[in-house]
Amino acid sequence: MTNSELVFDGTKISNVELNVWDSSPLHALQIVGSGDVTDKDCSRWLSMRGCLRVLEHERIGKLHGKDFKDMGFVQKVHHWCNDWMCPKCYRHGSSVRLARKIEGRFDASKQFGNVEHVIISSIHPRYAKLSIDAMYKAVQKALEVRGFIGGILIPHGFAKRKYEMFQFGVFRQIGTVWRFHMHSLSFLSGGYDHCRNCRKNGVVPSKEQCQKCGGFEFVTRKCNEKDDFIVKIAEDEKTGLPNERESIFGTAWYLLNHMTIKVGKVGVKTRSHGVRWWGCVSYRKLHVKVVDKKQVCPICKLSLYAIRYGGVRSLCLDVTSSRYEANTMEHVHEGGVQVWFKDEKKPFARNSVGGKPKSYGDDYE
Residue 212 has a pLDDT of: 73
Residue 10 has a pLDDT of: 42
Residue 267 has a pLDDT of: 44
Average pLDDT over residues 164-193: 76
Does one domain contain both 56 and 147? no
Does one domain contain both 122 and 199? yes
Cα distances from 89 to residues 31, 78, 97, 205, 321, in angstroms, run 14, 9, 11, 44, 14
- With respect to residue 348, please indicate whether it lies within any of the assigned structural domains: no
Does one domain contain both 178 and 59? no
- With respect to residue 182, please indicate whether it lies within any of the assigned structural domains: yes
Residue 170 has a pLDDT of: 54
**CB environment 103-126: b (16+ within 10 A), e (fewer):** bbbbeebeebeebbbbbbbbbbbe
Asked whether residue 360 carries a pLDDT value surpassing 80, the answer given is no
Does one domain contain both 153 and 247? yes
Rg of the Cα atoms in the chain: 24
Give the model confidence (pLDDT) of 266-300 as tens digits: 444 445 568 999 999 999 999 888 877 788 999 99
Cα maximum dimension of the chain? 75
Number of domains in the chain: 2
Confidence of residue 247 (pLDDT cuts 50, 70, 90): confident
Residues in the chain: 365
Number of Cβ within 10 Å of residue 8's Cβ equals 15
Average pLDDT over residues 323-335: 92
Does one domain contain both 151 and 274? yes
In DSSP terms, 278 is beta-bridged to 151
Average pLDDT over residues 320-327: 88
- With respect to residue 210, please indicate whether it lies within any of the assigned structural domains: yes
Asked whether residue 365 carries a pLDDT value surpassing 70, the answer given is no
- With respect to residue 37, please indicate whether it lies within any of the assigned structural domains: no
Give the model confidence (pLDDT) of 17-35 as tens digits: 445 556 678 888 888 988 8
Does one domain contain both 70 and 177? no
Does one domain contain both 127 and 252? yes
Better-scored residue on pLDDT, 353 or 186:
186
Better-scored residue on pLDDT, 258 or 238:
258
Question: CB of 295 within 8 A of CB of 289?
Answer: no
Does one domain contain both 251 and 113? yes
β-pair type (333-334, 337-338): antiparallel
Averaged pLDDT score across all residues of the chain = 81
Per-residue DSSP letter, 223: H
Per-residue DSSP letter, 19: G
Give the model confidence (pLDDT) of 252-273 as tens digits: 999 999 999 887 654 444 455 6
- With respect to residue 93, please indicate whether it lies within any of the assigned structural domains: no
Confidence of residue 12 (pLDDT cuts 50, 70, 90): very low
- With respect to residue 18, please indicate whether it lies within any of the assigned structural domains: yes
Does one domain contain both 173 and 211? yes
Average pLDDT over residues 316-340: 91
Does one domain contain both 209 and 321? no
Question: CB of 72 within 8 A of CB of 54?
Answer: yes
Amino acid (one-letter) located at 57: H
Confidence of residue 209 (pLDDT cuts 50, 70, 90): confident
Give the model confidence (pLDDT) of 75-123 as tens digits: 999 999 888 889 988 998 999 999 999 999 999 998 999 999 999 998 8
Alpha-carbon span 21 to 179, nearest angstrom: 9
User: Percent of the chain having pLDDT more than 70?
Assistant: 79
- With respect to residue 244, please indicate whether it lies within any of the assigned structural domains: yes
Query: Residues 77, 103, 186, 129: what is their CA dihedral angle, to the nearest 10 degrees?
Result: -40
Does one domain contain both 171 and 237? yes
**Which structural domain range is residue 322 located in?**
45-78+294-342
Residue 204 has a pLDDT of: 67
Does one domain contain both 69 and 190? no
